[in-house]
Amino acid sequence: MNAISTKQRSGKIKEAVIESKDQRWHCRNRITLVFGSNDVEDLETYLYTEGGVEFKAVQFHQAKSKAIEEILDNSIDEFYRGHVSEIRTELSDDGLTVTIQDNGIGFPLDKVKQVYTEFRTGSKFKDEEVDEKGLLFRTLGQNGLGAAATCLTSDEFEVTVKHYNSKQEQTYRFIDGALKVTQTRPKSFSGPSGVSITLKLAKEVYKNPKIDKDLLRKRIIDLAYNNPGLKFVFNKEEFQFKKGLFELAQRINIDTAQLIGEEEFIFDTQTTTGKTAKAKINLHVSLTLDPKNDERERFISFVNSTPTFDGGYHNDRVKRSFINKVKEKAERQLKKEKITVADNDVLQGVIFVIGIIMPNPRFESQTKRKLVRDQLLEKALDQFMEEGVEKFLRKNKEFIDLVCERAQTRHRFQELKDASKQGKKQKKQRVEKLLDANERKDRTKCVLFICEGDSAIGGLRSARDKLTQGGIALKGKPMNVSQATIKDVLDNQEFADIMAAIGLTIGVKADPHEMRYSKIVFLADSDVDGGHINTLLTNFFFTFWPELFQMGIICIAKAPLFEVITDKETIYAETEGELENIKKRSEVKIREIQRNKGLGEMSPEAFRYVLSRKDFTKIAVKEVKASQDMLNVCFGKDSQPRKDLLLDTSK
């Protein structure tokens, strides 16, 4: 290695002052290193209402919240070890004083000062420590920092330890971050053993030492859901649950809560010192699903009862496993339609509730808001989700239908977007077959007749009002758009001409001010085929512009089936019944009755009679959804609903 060069300097240089700070100074002045942000942030979370859950953004102070949680977590650790059955918390009316008490076994009295004033002091450093069954202990505290950091950042911190083994109790008072320490003499006690702590956080450290009652209550209820059987009391409210986190899912939505699974896995593993041990991992995943909710997915997740606000490995693994399994089933169902399923098709409106209890979890930081990867957890989660999601899908077959429907809707929406671009180009093209109305200034006066066949357009040409009436002819029956792609519709010349003639674009809502005609009238033969043409046209317009029907723009012109020529006038009858009524009229002397098989056989006078009407029969729509459902029955790909309708003798 070449020698490093010398930097040229002039005169004597002022050197940095090297200092040593004690734990108290470091904790109070660098609290973010231990408890996270010391500023108020907006946190998207939830609060517990009376019997429910409200998702909302709250003002959250990470460091202050963590300071209290560290004391609660110590009691939970004792519950994991089988020593605690009840935890009581009380917050004063002014929100400044918190008392947390458990009925555990306490700990040796000569260790109290050390536990609450010295970092790296605790009972959970031995990652290989096992219970009587040879299973590694599960714990929240791992670094011996939390309780001491809370004490050192408190103005007042009073601890009473009632030690089960020695049958002695002692109280310590730590004032101003333990600058001043007093203690009582050890003495015997009666009643339950355990630890009781009363504290006031330091204003100097936390700026505003007041504890948020709603968030503390939320944390305690979270702990109750995570630890079934453990009793919590908060300001006289009692919380104790039997089914744990599944009851939380039910609280979110009692109707749609589903248990994916709740399993226990035991693995052989090695500790950090190389010893062989067994690791037990408990997994819980449940979810709620709101099919009408278009919001993205939410997660409520915990690791060893700690809320993982920022998610992490467990959230990602559960989410990906769920998506992949559902996609596999849904895409198999959509294979013929060549539609792929997007993640949001699966996750929309889903709320996951995840709970994991495991030995030695690893987080990104002391705040424990995000879990990092663990190989044993990966193995457990993969096996758990494979079995759990499979059972969920067998039980909830309609969920796959919902996902497919979302994928189809999204695919159709994209097609409509693409169609609107193509349609805007088509609007500008000249329509060769359009018999246009000549009115230029006020197109609201104009009516477009969509006719069956070229012979009908010939009759229309001779009988129409050229200023306000236009026409366009169909070649036979139009396309059934319910069984066609949007691309097929756009490529259909007849529909392309109709859209261009009127000024409509697929994917764009109809605007009467932009349309070239204020009325669209179907003019087909008065027979079964003519009726079929009218319904196919109705399906076309309703599929892409249902608003036209609500505006009263879509109409049908009924062509007369009979022309009754009398000695004075020609009378027109649209049905056999009308003809019979004319025959019964004594004052009418019939010379000739002409039956029109189609529009092409109508006389010019009959055409003028049809076109001269001020009002045509409007196709009214009372309920859009019901109308769409009926059109789907009549024209959809599934023929069974049509058969059921035709065979239904009750209608």
- Residue 256, SS3 per DSSP: coil
Residue 584 pLDDT > 90 = no
To the nearest whole number, what is the mean pLDDT of the chain?
A: 87
Element (H, E) at 404: helix 397-427
Q: Is the dihedral of CA 462, 464, 467, 471 positive or negative?
A: negative
Note the pLDDT of residue 131: 59
Quote the radius of gyration of the chain (alpha carbons, Å). 39
- Could you tell me the pTM of the whole model? 0.70
Note the pLDDT of residue 350: 95
Could you read off the pLDDT of 223-244 as tens digits, one per residue?
Answer: 999 999 999 999 999 999 999 9
Retrieve residue 254's tokens.
């009692």
Instruction: Tell me how far apart the alpha carbons of residues 370 and 501 are, in angstroms, rounded to a whole number.
Output: 60
Residue 639 pLDDT > 80 = no
Instruction: Tell me how far apart the alpha carbons of residues 385 and 403 are, in angstroms, rounded to a whole number.
Output: 19
Query: Is residue 282 a contact partner of residue 342, using CB atoms and an 8 Å limit?
Result: no
Instruction: Tell me how far apart the alpha carbons of residues 647 and 651 are, in angstroms, rounded to a whole number.
Output: 9
Instruction: Tell me how far apart the alpha carbons of residues 71 and 605 are, in angstroms, rounded to a whole number.
Output: 96
With 0-12 CB in 10 A as exposed, 13-18 as middle and 19+ as buried, what is 130?
middle
Contacts of the segment 253-256: beta carbons below 8 A, 24+ positions apart: 253/288, 253/289, 253/290, 253/351, 256/288, 256/289, 256/290
Nearest to 408 by CA among 335, 351, 480: 335
Q: Comparing 642 with 469, which gets the higher pLDDT?
A: 469
φ, ψ (nearest 5 deg) of residue 331:
-70, -30
Nearest to 78 by CA among 159, 193, 171, 216: 193
Residue 293 pLDDT > 90 = no
Q: Is the dihedral of CA 32, 35, 37, 39 positive or negative?
A: negative
Q: Comparing 528 with 434, which gets the higher pLDDT?
A: 434
Note the pLDDT of residue 457: 84
Which residue segments constitute the domains of the chain, with CATH numbers given?
27-239 (3.30.565.10), 253-408 (3.30.230.10), 429-559+596-647 (3.40.50.670)
Percent with pLDDT over 90 in the chain:
48
Residue 516 pLDDT > 50 = yes
Q: Which residues contact 199 (CB under 8 A, 6 or more apart)?
A: 71, 97, 98, 150, 151, 154, 156, 157, 158
640, amino acid identity: Q
Q: Comparing 134 with 79, which gets the higher pLDDT?
A: 79
Residue 213 pLDDT > 90 = yes
At residue 645 the predicted structure's pLDDT band, cuts being 50, 70 and 90, is: low
Note the pLDDT of residue 130: 56
Query: Is residue 327 a contact partner of residue 380, using CB atoms and an 8 Å limit?
Result: no
Instruction: Tell me how far apart the alpha carbons of residues 539 and 537 are, in angstroms, rounded to a whole number.
Output: 5
